[in-house]
């Protein structure tokens, strides 16, 4: 929070100054020393490392129609395409290379706890009102990391909808909580890989259709049983284990949203 607050304070201060002074003050803050994570080198196809992984988490919502971006620390064609879409969405030069401009935009978008600007951990950890990340099949840390990945996709979805607010009505659920609300036994909510959504300024069908472009392999909405009051999105394809192979599954019949269509 500290760094972003300072940056914002600097900008706010600059806005209060006469025109001539503005350019100098706004240009002053370096795009370094971000409060969450700072990239140290330009990244492009062929690179690998944890810095690539950090980038992938943040652009995974720009996977394109029906796609996903694997968060594997390898900058391949999927990542290049996602970076291009991210750049286009934010009015940057779209070259698929993550350099200073792209990182600046990411610093601007992320809070010091690494959540994207318009979503917070508190919105995802409801767990039937209990809060926290424990009580599911994964460790609390793994669960929280999944919640972060979910939020970056939601940030992309929000941008894709034209910067319209999205409300999360249910995020992570502990096993106890999931049982209480009658969730499926293998619900992605147990892994913090899912969110139930509504939006005041967009219809549920608009949400469900847009979600297809933002890395969500699970979409359930109007026309699917018990999903006429919200849209469920999840990342089931990234949650494969030895025991299960989760494939893309979309069903919002009233919106014309279905797998493979
Ligand atoms: Zn759900």
Sequence ranges of the domains in the chain? 5-109, 121-258
Quote the CA–CA distance of 248 and 232 in Å, as a whole number: 13
- In whole angstroms, what is the distance from residue 261 CA to residue 259 CA? 5
Instruction: Report the percentage of the chain scoring pLDDT > 70.
Output: 85
The reported pLDDT for the residue numbered 23 is: 45
How confident is the model at residue 245, as a pLDDT? 73
Q: How many whole angstroms from 183 Cα to the centroid of ligand 1?
A: 8
pLDDT at 236: 94
- What is the share, in percent, of the chain residues with pLDDT greater than 90? 78
- In the predicted structure, residue 215 carries a pLDDT above the cut 90: yes
The winner for highest mean pLDDT among 17-31, 74-88, 231-245 is: 74-88
- Confidence at residue 242, expressed as pLDDT on a 0 to 100 scale: 56
Which superfamily, per CATH, for 5-109? Answer: PGBD-like superfamily/PGBD (1.10.101.10)
Asked if the domains at 5-109 and 121-258 fall in one CATH topology, the answer is no
| CA–centroid distance, residue 108 to ligand 1 (Å) | 30
Average of per-residue pLDDT values in the chain: 88
Q: What is the pLDDT of residue 26?
A: 44
Residues 82-100 have a mean pLDDT of 98
Residue 20 has pLDDT above 80, yes or no: no
Against a cut of 0.85, is the pTM above it?
A: yes
Question: In whole angstroms, what is the distance from residue 218 CA to residue 170 CA?
Answer: 15
227 Cα to the center of ligand 1, angstroms: 8
What digits encode the pLDDT tens for the residues 228-243? 999 999 999 988 765 6
Number of other CB atoms surrounding residue 78 within 10 Å:
20
Mean pLDDT, residues 66-75: 95
Top CATH class, 121-258 = alpha beta
| Spatial separation of the C-alpha atoms in residues 184 and 136, rounded to whole Å | 13
Catalytic hit among 189, 227, 230, 232: 227
Cα(40) to centroid(ligand 1), Å: 38
| Catalytic (active site) residue 227 | yes
């Amino acid at each position: 929070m500290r760094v972003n607050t300072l940056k914002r304070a600097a900008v706010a201060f600059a806005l209060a100054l006469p025109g001539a002074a503005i350019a100098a003050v706004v240009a002053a803050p370096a795009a370094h020393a971000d409060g969450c994570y700072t990239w140290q080198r330009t990244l492009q196809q062929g690179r690998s490392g944890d810095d690539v992984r950090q980038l992938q988490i943040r652009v995974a919502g720009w996977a394109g129609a029906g796609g996903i971006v694997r968060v594997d620390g390898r900058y391949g064609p999927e990542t290049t395409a996602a970076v291009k879409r991210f750049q286009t969405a934010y009015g940057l030069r779209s070259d698929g290379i993550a350099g200073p401009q792209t990182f600046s935009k990411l610093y601007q978008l992320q809070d010091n706890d690494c959540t994207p600007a318009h979503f917070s951990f508190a919105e995802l950890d409801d767990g039937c009102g209990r809060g926290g990340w424990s009580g599911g099949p994964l460790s609390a840390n793994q669960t929280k990391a999944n919640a972060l990945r979910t939020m970056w996709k939601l940030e992309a979805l929000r941008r894709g909808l034209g910067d319209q607010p999205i409300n999360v009505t249910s995020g992570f659920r502990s096993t106890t909580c999931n049982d209480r609300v009658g969730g499926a036994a293998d619900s992605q909510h147990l892994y913090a890989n899912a969110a139930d959504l509504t939006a005041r300024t967009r219809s549920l069908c608009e949400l469900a259709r847009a979600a297809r472009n933002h890395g969500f392999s699970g979409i359930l909405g109007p026309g699917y049983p018990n999903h006429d009051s919200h849209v469920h999105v999840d990342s089931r394809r990234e949650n494969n284990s030895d025991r299960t192979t989760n494939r893309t599954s979309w069903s919002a019949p009233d919106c014309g949203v279905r797998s493979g269509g």
